[in-house]
């Protein structure tokens, strides 16, 4: 039993390895590339729209609504990054119903890469919204003594994002494999359905946490109080402005 798709090696030349994580990650990227091009060509502004376009608009509007709920105004500024994160993790977990498929999110290298993207995006959007001086000054609030602790907090939550997603996906895969050995005809179906639900929940949690971190970075309020308020009470922090 492989604990990670990194252990499944299809080709190797010296220290260069082509494992399942790389293969299935590129497969997901190919699916997104082809789907985006096909759907983009089929888009229309007429009243008569295809079911695919209606489904796509429903997904986009749903993601925008969730981005707005955490306090980010003008969600279309962030949907390219946050929407891609959600769709990648969600599709990576949904495709586990295919035989022979190994979710790349079951590899710590993949989840760490996604978390590093969030780690870079947070100061990027923060500086873009507030300016370099104002954003960097937030690390020294409420006092300069908090500077090292705020920096450590930024780094630790990045690892927390990676480990949380990796641990949940890997544990789900292991449980399904064990159940197949015990009762190969009944339990795997139930556990696979439960695994799909868990995978979608993990995609949503990863997406929401990334949104909250960016909202805290772009807000003029204190970062820690912003995160704690949203964590303790799952209600919109600010009323989103209407899209102009």
Output the DSSP codes for 53-99: HHHHHHHHHHHHHHHHHTT-SSGGGTHHHHHHHHHHHHHHHHGGGST
Q: What is the pLDDT of residue 226?
A: 45
Rounded distance, CA 105 to CA 89, Å? 7
Helix (H) or strand (E) holding 220: none
Give Cα 58 distance to the centre of its chain. 19
Per-residue confidence in pLDDT tens, the chain, 244 aa: 566 787 888 888 888 889 889 999 999 999 999 988 888 887 777 777 778 788 888 888 999 999 998 888 888 899 999 999 999 999 998 888 887 888 898 888 999 999 999 999 999 999 988 888 888 888 888 888 888 888 898 889 888 888 888 887 777 666 666 666 665 556 666 666 777 787 888 899 999 999 999 998 888 654 444 444 444 444 444 444 444 3
Q: What is the pLDDT of residue 221?
A: 53
Q: What is the pLDDT of residue 240?
A: 45
Structure tokens at 70: 């955490």
Rounded distance, CA 54 to CA 32, Å? 18
87: burial class by Cβ within 10 Å (0-12, 13-18, 19+)?
Answer: middle
Q: What is the pLDDT of residue 26?
A: 94
Q: What is the pLDDT of residue 140?
A: 84
Q: What is the pLDDT of residue 73?
A: 83
Rounded distance, CA 88 to CA 29, Å? 8
Q: What is the pLDDT of residue 153?
A: 87
Q: Which residues contact 129 (CB under 8 A, 6 or more apart)?
A: 217, 218
Helix ranges restricted to H, 70-186:
79-94, 108-130, 132-137, 147-182
Q: What is the pLDDT of residue 11?
A: 86
Which of 81, 88, 85 is CA-nearest to residue 31? Answer: 88
pTM above 0.85, yes or no: no
């Amino acid at each position: 039993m492989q604990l990670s798709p990194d252990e499944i090696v299809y080709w190797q030349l010296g220290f260069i390895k082509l494992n399942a994580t790389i293969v299935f990650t590129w497969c997901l990227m190919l699916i997104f590339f082809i789907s985006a091009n096909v759907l983009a060509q089929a888009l229309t502004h007429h009243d008569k729209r295809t079911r695919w376009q209606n489904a796509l608009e429903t997904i986009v509007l749903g993601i925008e609504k969730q981005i707005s709920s955490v306090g980010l105004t003008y969600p279309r500024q962030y949907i390219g990054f946050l929407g891609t994160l959600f769709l990648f993790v969600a599709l990576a977990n949904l495709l586990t119903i295919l035989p022979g498929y190994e979710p790349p999110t079951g590899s710590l290298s993949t989840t760490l890469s996604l978390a590093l993207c969030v780690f870079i995006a947070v100061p990027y959007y923060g500086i873009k919204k507030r300016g370099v001086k104002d954003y960097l000054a937030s690390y020294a609030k409420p006092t300069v003594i908090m500077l090292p602790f705020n920096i450590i907090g930024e780094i630790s939550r990045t690892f927390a994002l990676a480990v949380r997603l990796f641990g949940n996906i890997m544990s789900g895969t292991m449980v399904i494999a064990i159940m197949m050995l015990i009762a190969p005809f009944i339990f795997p179906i139930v556990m696979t359905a439960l695994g799909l639900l868990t995978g979608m929940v993990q995609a949503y949690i990863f997406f929401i946490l990334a949104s909250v971190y960016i909202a805290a970075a772009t807000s003029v309020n204190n970062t820690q109080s912003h995160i704690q308020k949203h964590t303790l009470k799952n209600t919109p922090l600010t009323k989103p402005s209407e899209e102009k």
